[in-house]
Structures are given as structure tokens and as C-alpha cells.
């Protein structure tokens, strides 16, 4: 990863940019937390406080970039984390950081000033829990419609393949490719080959401190028997030793209103095809 030279130009750019956070924000321990879904997806552009949180402010261990190979061992949470966008829960203390570092898409090399990301995962029998920290110089969501080119706005993608079957999952539920928007809509393609909302699968809150966003969320895990039009789907009960396919990725849109970079938890020449092929995912192992 490159070392940023300056972020000053970004601060200037913000002065001329439409800045509107139409959703109300609450503050927890000094962290701005986006409210739960319910309001319209009306975020047009969110301006982080340029005065704080440059990449060099982050005390992130550079060694983590060498450790991540796209696999993760998630410890069981004795006490489930509170989904509030603040990562101070006891459960997170026992999980290790891994990096979101592989550039899957983008014409220009990624820089630390543009994007950095890391994550932790823990579990309970009921859910997976994720803590994801994203340093992004510009949060951008220019489409209020959650189905309108949802991958072109800033979006966190969560890939889950319950039985690690791999293979195609584009229009079925052999695996899920949840796209979480800045306003908490969760979208994936359904069996009708159209995007649908899966907001009931993921509970999420994001805390923003300057340009550092802490995404904290839980995921209900469904297997490939999931029925899109049924109300009787039952999440899988998780247990130690379970192995799943998983990945995380971030669609980074800044000035252009399109996905300028796409950064994931594993690498490889066909990494970008995660939305088509679950065989590319890393391995998530649940440990006691
Ligand atoms: Ca928390
Ligand atoms: Ca960026
Ligand atoms: Ca599967
Ligand atoms: Ca961005």
C-alpha cells in the first residue's frame, strides 16, 4: 500500500461539493452513528470532518497486510456485540484484525489516502457478527433508489456461502452477495434476476469519526434451501468447527459517482467475479 503524501486537496474539494446529510445522526461516545433504516435513502453526500483522521492518524499495524490471505478464523462471542457502530464490545477484543486490501477493480493504483479497510468476525449460534473499519476519503451515495446501480455508490459487500459449495450463485441462494449501502439498504440479486432487499438478514449501524467509518453488523446465515418468496425461512444454527465461504469487499465511489475502486479480502486474477462464483471466496472457520 502506498503511503499518502497529502490529503489537502481533498479538503479543498469538499468546500465546493454538495454536502447534505439528510438523515439525523446521533452521537455515542463522540462517534456519529447513522440511524437505523426506516428513513428514505436520502443521503446524497456525506462530508467527513477533514480536520481529523488522516491515514497517519490511524494506529493500524502495517503487518496485518502481510497476514491476510483471505481466510479467517472467527472466535465465538461469549457476549454478542451491541450493534451500535462502536467497536468497544468485549467480543471484539478476542478477534484479530485482517485487511481488506486486494484491488479488484480500478484504473489507478489504490492509495492509503483513498481507502484502507480491515475487519473482525465473531459468532454466536444465531448469527455472524462483523466489525469493519473503512478509511475512505469521501463517502458518496448519489442514488437514493437502492436498486439503481447499487454497486456504483460506496457500498460494503458481504459474501456468504453457508456450505462452502462454491460455484455460481448469481440468481439463486447457494451463496449471498449482500450489498450494504451507506443508508443501510441490503441488496442482492434474486431468483427473478432482479435485485431485491434483504434488510431483514443484516442488522447494521455505522459510526463515522471523520473519514473513518466503523461498520458493525450481524448476519443471519441461510443455506441454499432459502426460498425468496417464503416467510418460513429459518437461519442456520452455527457451531464451532463450521466452515463457510466468505469474503468482504468495498465499492469505493468518490468524486465520480461511480465505483472507482473495488477492494476485497482475497486476491487473484478473477477476484472480481465474486458476485458470480462463490468458489473464489476465502474460508471462514468458526472456532470455540
Ligand atoms: Ca458495538
Ligand atoms: Ca475513497
Ligand atoms: Ca452454497
Ligand atoms: Ca468513497
- In angstroms, the Cα distances linking 243 to 13, 46, 94, 147, 186 are 45, 37, 19, 31, 24
Nearest ligand, measured from the Cα of 246? 3
The secondary structure of residue 12, as a DSSP letter, is H
The environment of the single-atom ion ligand 4, i.e. residues with CB closer than 5 A, is 136, 138, 140, 154, 252, 254
Beta strand pairing call for 72-75 and 45-46: unpaired
The whole-number pLDDT of residue 123 equals 98
Beta bridge partners of 31: 28
Residue 140 and residue 132: Cα distance in Å, rounded? Answer: 18
Residue 87 and residue 244: Cα distance in Å, rounded? Answer: 24
Q: What is the CATH number of domain 8-55+67-287?
A: 2.60.40.1190
Nearest ligand, measured from the Cα of 221? 3
CA of 259 to the centre of ligand 2 (A): 10
What are the sequence ranges of the domains in the chain? Answer: 8-55+67-287
Containing H/E element for 66?
Answer: helix 64-67
Would you give per-residue pLDDT tens digits along the chain (288 residues)?
333 333 333 333 333 333 333 344 555 555 555 554 443 443 444 444 444 456 666 666 655 555 546 899 999 999 999 999 999 999 999 999 888 989 999 999 988 889 999 999 999 999 999 999 999 989 999 999 999 999 999 999 999 999 999 999 999 999 999 999 999 999 999 999 999 999 999 999 999 888 889 999 999 999 999 999 999 999 999 999 999 999 999 999 998 999 999 999 998 888 999 999 999 999 999 999
Nearest ligand, measured from the Cα of 259? 4
Residue in this structure with the C-alpha cell 418460513, named with its chain if needed: 232
CA of 121 to the centre of ligand 4 (A): 23
Task: Show the DSSP H helices in the chain as ranges.
Answer: 8-15, 64-67, 90-93
The whole-number pLDDT of residue 19 equals 34
The whole-number pLDDT of residue 72 equals 94
Amino acid at each position: 500500500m502506498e503511503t499518502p503524501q497529502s490529503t489537502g486537496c481533498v479538503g479543498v474539494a469538499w468546500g465546493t461539493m454538495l454536502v447534505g446529510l439528510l438523515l439525523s445522526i446521533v452521537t455515542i461516545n463522540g462517534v456519529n452513528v447513522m440511524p437505523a433504516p426506516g428513513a428514505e435513502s436520502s443521503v446524497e453526500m456525506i462530508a467527513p470532518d477533514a480536520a481529523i483522521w488522516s491515514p497517519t492518524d490511524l494506529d493500524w499495524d502495517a503487518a496485518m497486510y502481510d497476514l491476510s490471505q483471505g481466510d479467517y478464523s472467527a472466535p465465538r462471542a461469549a457476549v454478542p456485540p451491541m450493534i451500535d457502530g462502536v467497536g468497544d464490545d468485549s467480543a471484539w477484543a478476542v478477534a484479530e484484525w485482517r485487511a481488506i486490501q486486494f484491488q479488484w477493480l480500478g484504473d489507478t493504483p489504490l492509495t492509503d489516502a483513498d481507502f484502507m479497510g480491515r475487519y473482525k468476525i465473531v459468532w454466536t449460534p444465531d448469527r455472524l457478527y462483523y466489525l469493519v473499519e473503512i478509511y475512505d476519503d469521501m463517502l458518496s451515495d448519489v442514488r437514493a433508489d437502492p436498486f439503481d446501480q447499487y454497486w456504483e455508490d460506496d457500498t460494503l459487500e458481504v459474501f456468504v456461502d453457508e456450505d462452502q459449495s462454491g460455484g455460481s450463485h448469481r440468481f439463486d441462494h447457494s451463496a449471498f452477495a449482500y450489498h450494504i449501502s451507506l443508508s443501510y439498504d441490503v441488496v442482492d440479486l434474486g431468483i427473478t434476476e432482479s435485485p431485491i432487499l434483504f434488510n431483514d438478514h443484516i442488522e447494521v449501524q455505522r459510526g463515522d469519526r471523520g473519514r473513518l467509518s466503523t461498520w458493525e453488523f450481524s448476519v443471519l446465515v441461510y443455506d441454499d434451501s432459502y426460498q425468496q418468496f417464503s416467510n418460513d425461512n429459518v437461519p442456520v444454527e452455527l457451531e464451532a468447527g463450521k466452515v463457510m465461504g466468505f469474503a468482504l469487499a468495498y465499492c469505493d465511489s468518490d468524486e465520480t459517482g461511480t465505483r472507482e475502486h473495488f477492494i476485497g479480502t482475497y486476491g487473484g486474477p478473477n477476484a472480481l467475479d465474486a458476485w458470480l462464483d462463490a468458489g473464489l471466496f476465502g474460508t471462514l472457520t468458526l472456532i470455540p
